[in-house]
Amino acid sequence: MLPSCCSKWVFPRVRPEQGPLSPGWRLDLAYFGVNHLLIGVFLVVSTHFAHDAFAWAISPSLQAHVVALPAFVRFLLVILAADAVEYVAHRAYHEVPWLWRIHAVHHSPEHMDWLSGSRLHFLEPLATRALVLVPIVLLGFPQDTNFAYLIFISVQSVLIHSNIKMDVGWLRYVIVTPQFHHWHHASDAEALDKNYAAHTPLFDMLGGTWHLPKDRWPVRYGTVKPIPGGMLGQFMHPFVGPVKEFLEHRDP
C-alpha cells in the first residue's frame, strides 16, 4: 500500500478525482497475482537454462571485465543493456499486429494507478523477461548487480504507472518518469506509438519516438479500439481475431 499512500498524501495527483485505486483495481490485482507468480517461477527455471543455452556465446574474458567494473557502473550497464532489449521488444509489440493484440491488454486500463502496470497478458512478461535475460547472462553480471536491477525495475514500474505528478527537473531526460510513461499509455493522437523505453528515454530519443510535452499530461488513456474487459476475454484476445479471420477467409 506504500505507493497508494504516496499517491494520496505525498505527491499531487494527475487526476485529483481518482482515489488511490482505479475503477479496474480488482482486475489489476488478479493480474498482479498471476503474473508475479509466473515470472517468479520462470526466472528460477530459465536462469539455469539460459546459462546452458548460451554457453557457446559466453566470453569469460568479457564477463571478467564486467565484474571488475565499479558497482555503480555495472548498475548503469545492466539498465542500459536491459532497456535496449526492452525498447526493441516494446516497439515490436506496437508495430507487429499480432504482438499488439497481446500488448493491448496492458494498454486497456482507462485509468492509471500504481497497480495498473500489472495488467499484462501472461505471454508478454514471459517473453520480455526471456529476452532481457540474454544480455544479462552474456555479460555475466554478479548477483548484487542483478539484485539492484530487480529492485530498481520493481520500484520504477510502480511509480511510472501511478496517478502522481513528480517534478524531477532535468532528470526527466535521463530516467523514465510517470509523465513520460503516462504519455505512452495515452490514446491521444499525438501520443500513439511513443515512449517505448522502460528505464531511460535515451533509446526513444535515438529512435525518434520520444514525446514529452513539458507541462501537459494526457487527456485519455486506454486502447483506441476496445478489447474485452475480463481476464478470460483478454487472455483469448490475441487468438480470437486470427481464428475468426482464418474461418472467414478459408475456402468453402
Q: Where along the chain do its domains lie? A: 23-244
Question: What does pTM read for this prediction?
Answer: 0.87
Give me 111's grid cell: 485509468
Per-residue pLDDT at 1 exceeds 80: no
**Residue 18 DSSP code:** S
The answer for 70, left when phi > 0, alpha when psi is -120 to 50, beta otherwise, is: beta
* Residues 133 and 46 sit within 8 Å (Cβ to Cβ): yes
Per-residue pLDDT at 7 exceeds 80: no
What is the DSSP track for 47-77?
HHHHHHHTGGG--HHHHHHHHHS-HHHHHHH
What confidence tier does 137 reach under pLDDT thresholds 50, 70, 90?
very high
What confidence tier does 251 reach under pLDDT thresholds 50, 70, 90?
low
What confidence tier does 167 reach under pLDDT thresholds 50, 70, 90?
confident
In this predicted structure, what is the pLDDT of residue 65? 97
Give me 93's grid cell: 509489440
Q: Pick the more confident residue, 121 or 229.
A: 121
